[in-house]
């Protein structure tokens, strides 16, 4: 019987040539140092000197709170972007369509320790934004936007700005360990099971966040 040789990769293994997903690659310290000051400035412009806490707290809670809960309880799929969905005929690729290295990336994004860091980072930036608002009151800064719009409009503006800022901060924190140890993550360690849809059972997702431990179906799945 004639054996067919596998296609040549030019001497480069998949784990060496695997590139970071676009979202993971872009969520780095450089973009973070641009996004945080810009959006904190915009948030401060909206609520500076505004003495009614209701709309301010509502807007920031909706924005930062919903994103923090999302990162905590809804694991991020870096292979579910627009281009991935287009290539998949309108759907994200299934785990059995991903390589072992790519499924290790999924496991890293699911890791409850990384999700905890993301949620904590989002809440930390929320606290910073509220601190800046309080400081504007203490220093007697005038209102730039608050006196010109209805309270519900101010809350909506804060919620929108907070969503964008919180999303980027959370993504940077979630993928920090993945970016800083990329080669190590994709070359060894647990991977997402080939026979389970991502992100798996919701009960496991929630319980793993509070326990800080990977579910057994991931921790025991260590390919060689």
pLDDT in tens, the chain (224 residues): 333 333 433 333 444 468 888 889 999 989 999 999 999 999 999 999 999 999 999 999 999 999 999 999 999 999 876 555 545 555 678 888 899 999 999 999 999 999 999 999 999 999 999 999 999 999 988 888 877 889 999 999 999 999 999 999 999 999 999 999 999 999 988 899 998 899 888 999 999 999 999 988 888 766 65
Q: Has residue 44 been placed in a domain?
A: yes
pLDDT value for 94: 86
Residue 35's domain comprises 31-211
- CB atoms closer than 10 angstroms to residue 135: 12
pLDDT value for 118: 97
Q: Has residue 224 been placed in a domain?
A: no
Q: Has residue 149 been placed in a domain?
A: yes
Q: Has residue 220 been placed in a domain?
A: no
- CB atoms closer than 10 angstroms to residue 55: 23
Q: Has residue 185 been placed in a domain?
A: yes
Q: Has residue 76 been placed in a domain?
A: yes
Q: Has residue 171 been placed in a domain?
A: yes
Domain count, the chain: 1
Q: Has residue 4 been placed in a domain?
A: no
Burial zone of 19 (CB within 10 Å; 0-12 exposed, 13-18 middle, 19+ buried) = exposed
């Amino acid at each position: 019987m004639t054996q067919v040789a596998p296609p040549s990769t030019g001497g480069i293994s998949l784990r060496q040539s695997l590139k970071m997903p676009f979202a993971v690659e872009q969520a780095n310290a450089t973009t973070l140092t641009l996004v945080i000051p810009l959006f904190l400035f915009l948030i401060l412009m909206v609520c500076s000197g505004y003495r009614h806490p209701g709309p301010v707290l509502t807007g920031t809670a909706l924005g930062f709170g919903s994103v923090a809960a999302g990162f905590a309880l809804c694991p991020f799929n870096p292979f579910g972007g627009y281009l991935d969905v287009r290539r998949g005929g309108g759907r994200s690729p299934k785990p059995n369509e991903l390589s072992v290295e790519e499924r290790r990336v999924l496991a890293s994004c699911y890791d409850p320790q990384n999700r905890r860091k993301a949620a904590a980072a989002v809440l930390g930036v929320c606290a910073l934004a509220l601190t800046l608002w309080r400081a504007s009151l203490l220093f007697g800064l005038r209102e730039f936007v608050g006196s010109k719009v209805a309270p519900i409009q101010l809350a909506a503006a804060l919620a929108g700005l907070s969503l964008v800022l919180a999303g980027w901060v959370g993504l940077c924190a979630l993928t920090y360990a993945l970016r800083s140890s990329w080669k190590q993550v994709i070359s060894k360690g647990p991977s997402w099971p080939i026979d389970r849809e991502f992100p798996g059972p919701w009960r496991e997702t929630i319980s793993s966040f509070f326990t800080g431990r990977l579910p057994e179906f991931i921790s025991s799945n260590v390919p060689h």
